[in-house]
Each structure stands twice: as C-alpha cells, then as structure tokens.
Amino acid sequence: MLSLLGKYDPLKGEMAQILDKDGRIVNPDLEPKLSNDDLKTLYRFMVLSRVADDKALKLQRQGRFGTYAPVRGQEAAEVGSAYALPRSDWMFPTFREMAAMVVKGMPLESVFLYWMGNELGNAAPEGVNIFPISIPVGTQPLHAVGAAWAAKIKGDDVATLVYFGDGGTSEGDFHEAMNFAGVFQAPTVFFCQNNQYAISIPRARQTAAKTLAQKAIAYGFAGVQVDGNDVLAVYAITKEAIAKAHAGGGPTFIEAYTYRLSHHTTSDDATRYRTKEEVAFWEERDPIKRFQVYLQGKGLWADDYEKGLLDEVTQLVDKATDKAENWPAPSPEDVFKYTYAEMPWTLKEQLAKLLETLG
Amino acid sequence: MARLNIVDAINLALHQEMERDERVVVLGEDVGRNGGVFRVTVGLLEKFGENRVIDTPLAESGIVGTAIGMAVYGLRPVAELQFMGFLYPAFDQLISHAARIRTRSRGRFHCPLVVRMPYGGGIKAPEHHSESTEAILAHTPGLKVVIPSTPYDAKGLLISAIRDPDPVIFLEPKKVYRAIKEEVPEEEYTIPLGQAKILREGGHLSLFSWGAMVPPSLKAATLAQKEGIEVEVIDIRSIYPFDIDTIINSVQKTGRAIVVHEAARTCGFGAELVAQINEKAMLYLQAPVERITGFDTVFPLLKAEEYYLPNENQIIKEIKKVMTF
C-alpha cells in the first residue's frame, strides 16, 4: 500500500492521473477497485453538482439566492475526495464545497438555504460530520488539525479532511496548520483544490514554488499532485491518504490540479482576467465528460441513462429549491439565541428592544 | 487551607480540573517542560503526560486555531498565550471562529475553549509585554472575558471558565501574579462568570476597577476614608458578561462613580460602564461619571511606565474632585 503517495514527485512536476482528458485509461494499474454501482454513484454526484450549480446561478440572477460560489469544473476533485472519506471522519469545507458536502451527507436544501441567507443551512444534521463552511480563507485547516489531534488524544479512529484553494496556501494559518500537523502527526488530509485562480489572482502570484504539493516536503510529510479533473485518480489518492491517516501515518497534502470554469462567485466577472482560449482549453478537460466516456467504455453509460439521470437529479434539485424557499423565515430570537449557551442580560435587553421596535 | 498567590491558585485549579475531567488539555508555548514562562503550568506535564500538556510550535494562531478544532471535537482545551501583546495573530481565529461557531452551526457545535494570558503593565517588561486590550475582546460577540484580581477569585473563576460551554478569555494581571497571598481552599469551588464583587462597602462614591487596578483602588479608598469619604470598591471581575445589577445598585446608592482601568481611554471598557450608568441610573447621579485610565498612546517603555499606569494618588485626587462637583 501507500504506493501512490510516494510515486509522484512534486518537485519534478509529476502528477497522478488514471483517466486522460479524453477518458482513456493511462494508468490501468492505479484504477481503484470500485463496483459498477460506486462508479455510477460518483458520476451521479458529479452530474447532480452541475445541475445544482446551474440552478443556483439561475436563482441568484432572479434574486432568489444570495451570492453563490459555483463548483463548475471542480466536480471530480470534490466528489472523488469526499467519496473516499468514511462517514465517521470529519470534513472541513470552504464556501465552494457544495458537491463535497452533499456527498458527505449534507442535504442539498441545507446548502441552498444557507446561500439564500438562512444560517440554519450551515448546520449539518446530527451524525453528518461536516464543520460549518469557512469563509475566511485558509483559516480552517487549523480546525481540521485540532480535531484530528483531539481524536488522536482521545484514541478515536477518526481522520479529518480539509478543503482549501490555491489562494489559501498563501495565508499564514495554512503554514501553521501544516506545521502543527507535521509536528503532531495529526491524521489530517489537506486537500487543496488548485483551481488556478484566487478571484483574479493567478496561481503564479500565490507562490514561486513550482507546485503547491511540494510545500508538504518542508513540513516533513508527503505532498502529491493529482489531476483534479480525474475523479478516479482523486478518489484513489484521497483514499490512500485517509488510510494512511487512520493507520497512524500522519498528514498528507494533496494538490488537486483543476480549474474553476465559472466565476469566483456570482458577484465576479471572470472575463475581466481570463481569456476565452484559456477557458476553452479547460472546457476540453471537463471532469464530467471525461468520466462519461470512461463509463460508456465500460457499458455503464448511454444516452437514455443520461436522460433518466438528468430527470432524476433535476427533480431532486427542484425539490431542494422548493424546500429551501419555503423554509420559515428566521425569527428575531434566532439572531440572538445561539451566541452563547445561555443568553446574557445584554442580549436579552437588546432582543427586547428589537421586538419592541418590530411591534 | 493554604496561603497562595495568583500563580499558585491558577496552577492548583488546572491540576484539579485536569484530574476531574480527562477532556481538559493544556497547550501553548513552554507550558510543558518549562512549566510556563511565569511557571503557571508547573508540574502538569509530570502529572498528566505529553498527550494532555502540550508544548506547541511558536505560533499563536496555530495554538488557538487547533484548540478550536479540539474544543469542537470534544476536548476542553486550555490554551496559554505567553503575553497579551502576542494575542493578535490569533485574533482571526478567536473572532471569526471561536466566537461564532455556535451561531454558525445553530448550536450543533460549540467551543468550550479557555485562552489564558498574562496581561497589563507594571512589571517593567520589554515592548509589547504590557498590553491591556480587554475591550477589543469584550466587543466581540460570542466571547466571555474574565479578569481575576485575587488568588481566591483566580481559582474559582478559572474553574468556571473551564467548565463553561463557550469560549472564555482569561486575563491574568501579571503585576499582581505574586504580589497578593491569601487563603485559598484546597477543595474545588466555582465563582459564576458575570458577577462583580463588592470588596469594600461605602455610601459616598462607587469605584469600579479590575485586574491590577484593584489594589490601588483599595488603597485610595482607605486614604479617602481618612478624609471622611466612604468609597465602595467593586471588582468587576467579568468584563463580559458584566454584572449590571451590582453596578447600578451601587451607583443608585452612592450617586457618584469612577471607573479605573489601565487600558487606553477611548473605547476602553470604562466607556461602556459609563454609558450603562447613564442609561440606567442617570437620575441618581450627582456628578459626571469619571474615568481614570491609560492613554490613547502606545504603552511606554519601562522608564516611562509610571506615567501611563493609574495609581492611588491619581485615584484619590479624582475621588475628591467628584465628591466636590
């Protein structure tokens, strides 16, 4: 075991890949042993993410959604990694991890509810081990390390996986998290979605290092670059990193090399800083198309299957939209009551004043 | 019962809470082998081992950020930051995460974290070692801020802080770390957060202070008594939440009030107390509520430290001024 993590040298720019951009298997010996059902489930989650993403953008344009950060283009990175994470392990997402969170068990209506502006959508249901998404960039890897370290102290067989982007690796907290994880051998997987841009700032402006994965070397643990648009490679690498964490092997840094096909958020206009040619180059590397070809080759995909799947997930997304839109509005008390376990007199006084104002 | 100083009292509380609850872990720079630069954590490593008494890399945000992960996962971390002047790298973690996790998860998660740190001036320390920025913390919804001024309170308040389900900032007035000794019960006891303590009763004027400003306040009250002025001295102890009833009751009784703190004046916590007194006891006041504070300047180096810190002479002068308003 542990062959994949040591096999690709980030200093030489080597990258793990199983499927090339056209869906051909380039590394048959790395192909994970997944059942047909698993393969179809991976595909379904990717398609669900794409459909939910498109819906979210539409709803935002219609004024029914707040600002939203689309996943488009990163479905393989999110679905592949989240699918490798056991249920008892913990996930620490950022604001772009809708797909990963849904794979981990977050109801889609919760994600929608959050972006519609109801904080309740940020609360994972009991038993779904997902931290509230982190908006301040690069701050959450520390929480993943702390939780993993706590699990280790308590003797729990639990690992954590934290998502962040290429921009996040420039933050000081990223360094501190990597450093703590290395020193304390925390069972944490650092999953970096290098989607090439932090809003408008290209990856080259984040670091002079050739790869992000090589940063792990300085912290004393393995870093590996993986084709982030290849769901099989992402799954295989993450699975191994998670297994290593559970086996007491400490942290791993995974750089999923991918591309944000859409805007940073609905408030952004990516045409200001990227060329059509560049986007077209990456459209050709669409993670969903590539996996579709692979499934077709295995006899697991056909036009009618696609149509049935699209119908199913569209219905699911519409239902989630309905549920989220018809959710009761938060009460004035909701703003106050979660600040502390018990409301101090100051908050009681301020709430009373608000209620009086509202009449 | 033993006579203990604040350092010993905190050390005792940590020993007893770690004994009582195996979820309690201590982490920070030099807290293990060295027992803390002020020796507050002496003996913990030997007794509870490396898994629970953790010498960390030198990184304040890392200490607080990982402690948040630990707390939410189910431990009860007590993080030590070496000086309040080095708290600032951890502000983002405290303000953006520790203080908000309960709200952001609608109560699914909470963060039972204590962050201890020595604060305040008066020990002729180098630059950045004399900060007193409790008001910034009190201004952050979701945090609690506690400042003991005596060994007895230090023990009882720290135990409450450790058992509290929300993040508590525990500020230790290092000027009086070893200056005061008093009887501290061996058995565990708690002092509820959010309660002030009347140290001395008096009917003429209310004097509010906390931390290392309590001893000069008490001295000034003694001096005032010689001149026939009965000063009520109240140790606020909890900056947030604070004990509005004790404060307002006292002002309603005396009609005059002064707040003493060593932090900078503008937007210091004294400003909040003055505002509360104005809102809730205006018609009882016989004089404007005054503040004796540090200045809106950088805390000076040791040669000029005495200009900055309020002392009993200033306090007694202000008392007389307010009494003759």
Domain stops at, among B137, B162, B184: B184
Q: Is B129 a catalytic residue?
A: yes
A67 and A114 co-located in one domain: yes
Instruction: Measure A148 CA to nearest chain B CA, in Å.
Output: 8
B20 and B146 co-located in one domain: yes
Query: Mapping DSSP to helix (H, G, I), strand (E, B) and coil, where does residue B241 land?
Result: coil
A205 and A347 co-located in one domain: no
For residue B69, which residues of chain A lie inside 8 Å, CB to CB? 142-150, 160
B203 and B234 co-located in one domain: yes
Q: Are B69 and A143 in contact (CB < 8 Å)?
A: yes
A162 and A221 co-located in one domain: yes
Question: pLDDT tens digits for A290-321?
Answer: 999 999 999 999 999 999 999 999 999 999 99
- The Cα B146–Cα B237 span in angstroms is 6
For residue B101, which residues of chain A lie inside 8 Å, CB to CB? 132
- The Cα B71–Cα A146 span in angstroms is 8
B8 and B30 co-located in one domain: yes
- DSSP letter, residue A359: -
For residue A142, which residues of chain B lie inside 8 Å, CB to CB? 61-62, 65-66, 68-69, 93
DSSP string, A130-196: BPPPB-STT-THHHHHHHHHHHHHHT----EEEEEETGGGGSHHHHHHHHHHHHHT--EEEEEEE-S
Q: Is a pLDDT exceeding 50 seen at residue A1?
A: no
A134 and A197 co-located in one domain: yes
Instruction: Measure B33 CA to nearest chain A CA, in Å.
Output: 17
Question: pLDDT tens digits for A323-358?
Answer: 999 999 999 999 999 999 999 999 999 999 999 999
Q: Is residue B306 assigned to a domain?
A: yes
For residue B75, which residues of chain A lie inside 8 Å, CB to CB? 150, 153-154
Of B52, B62, B67, the CB nearest to A179: B62
Range of the domain at B313: 197-323
Closest residue on chain B to A343 (Cα): B241
Q: What CATH number does the domain containing B175 carry?
A: 3.40.50.970
Q: Taking residues B217-245, report their average pLDDT.
A: 98
Q: Is residue B49 assigned to a domain?
A: yes
Parallel, antiparallel or unpaired: strands A252-257 and B168-173: unpaired
Q: Is residue B111 assigned to a domain?
A: yes
Q: Are B108 and A124 in contact (CB < 8 Å)?
A: yes
A300 and A354 co-located in one domain: no
B114 and B224 co-located in one domain: no
Of A119, A139, A160, the CB nearest to B93: A139
Q: What is the structure's pLDDT at B103?
A: 97
pLDDT tier for residue A6 given thresholds of 50, 70 and 90: confident
Q: Is residue B189 assigned to a domain?
A: no
Q: Is residue B265 assigned to a domain?
A: yes
B240 and B149 co-located in one domain: no
- The Cα A74–Cα A3 span in angstroms is 25
Residues belonging to chain A with any Cβ–Cβ distance to chain B shorter than 8 Å: 90, 119-120, 122-124, 126, 131-132, 134, 136, 139-140, 142-151, 153-154, 160, 172-173, 176-177, 179-180, 183-184, 338-341, 344-346
Query: What are the tokens at A153?
Result: 């102290």
Q: Is residue B255 assigned to a domain?
A: yes
A261 and A338 co-located in one domain: no
A209 and A306 co-located in one domain: yes
Closest residue on chain B to A152 (Cα): B51
Q: Taking residues A128-154, report their average pLDDT.
A: 97
Range of the domain at A337: 331-359
Q: Taking residues B167-179, report their average pLDDT.
A: 97
For residue B54, which residues of chain A lie inside 8 Å, CB to CB? 184
- DSSP letter, residue A284: T
DSSP string, B146-169: E---SHHHHHHHHHHHHH-SS-EE
B273 and B175 co-located in one domain: no
Q: What CATH number does the domain containing A208 carry?
A: 3.40.50.970
Domain stops at, among B132, B157, B184: B184
Interface test with B, best of A126, A153, A188 (most B CBs within 10 A): A153
B87 and B164 co-located in one domain: yes
Of B72, B75, B104, the CB nearest to A153: B75
Q: Which amino acid makes up residue B118?
A: P
Q: Is a pLDDT exceeding 50 seen at residue A2?
A: no
| pTM of the model as a whole | 0.96
- The Cα A36–Cα A40 span in angstroms is 6
Query: Mapping DSSP to helix (H, G, I), strand (E, B) and coil, where does residue B97 land?
Result: helix
Q: Is residue B191 assigned to a domain?
A: no
Question: pLDDT tens digits for B93-117?
Answer: 999 999 999 999 999 999 999 999 9
Total structural domains within chain A: 2
B21 and B169 co-located in one domain: yes
B161 and B35 co-located in one domain: yes
Among residues of chain A, what percentage have pLDDT more than 90? 97
Question: pLDDT tens digits for B54-103?
Answer: 999 999 999 999 999 999 999 999 999 999 999 999 999 999 999 999 99
Q: Is a pLDDT exceeding 70 seen at residue A128?
A: yes
Q: Is a pLDDT exceeding 70 seen at residue B136?
A: yes
B204 and B154 co-located in one domain: no
pLDDT tier for residue B1 given thresholds of 50, 70 and 90: confident
Q: Are B66 and A119 in contact (CB < 8 Å)?
A: no
pLDDT tier for residue B310 given thresholds of 50, 70 and 90: very high
A219 and A309 co-located in one domain: yes
Q: Is residue B165 assigned to a domain?
A: yes
A336 and A309 co-located in one domain: no
Q: Are B66 and A177 in contact (CB < 8 Å)?
A: yes
Q: Is a pLDDT exceeding 90 seen at residue A3?
A: no
Among residues of chain B, what percentage have pLDDT more than 90? 99
Closest residue on chain A to B107 (Cα): A338
Q: What is the structure's pLDDT at B65?
A: 98
For residue B141, which residues of chain A lie inside 8 Å, CB to CB? 339
Cβ-proximal residues to B238 (8 Å cutoff; 6+ apart), any chain:
B144, B145, B146, B147, B157, B193, B194, B195, B196
- The Cα B314–Cα B255 span in angstroms is 20
Q: Are B66 and A123 in contact (CB < 8 Å)?
A: no
Catalytic residue among B15, B110, B128, B129: B129
A256 and A335 co-located in one domain: no
Domain stops at, among B150, B184, B218: B184
Check if the beta carbon of residue B223 is closer than 8 Å to that of residue B256. no
Whether residue B185 has a cis bond before it, omega within 30° of 0: no
pLDDT tier for residue A179 given thresholds of 50, 70 and 90: very high
A232 and A292 co-located in one domain: yes
For residue A131, which residues of chain B lie inside 8 Å, CB to CB? 72, 105, 109
Interface test with A, best of B52, B94, B108, B195 (most A CBs within 10 A): B108
B281 and B164 co-located in one domain: no
- The Cα B37–Cα B212 span in angstroms is 19
Question: pLDDT tens digits for A70-117?
Answer: 999 999 999 999 999 999 999 999 999 999 999 999 999 999 999 999
DSSP string, A293-351: HHHHHTT---HHHHHHHHHHHHHHHHHHHHHHHTSPPPPHHHHHTTSSSS--HHHHHHH
A127 and A276 co-located in one domain: yes
B80 and B159 co-located in one domain: yes
Question: pLDDT tens digits for B156-171?
Answer: 999 999 999 999 999 9
pLDDT tier for residue A149 given thresholds of 50, 70 and 90: very high
Q: Is a pLDDT exceeding 90 seen at residue B236?
A: yes
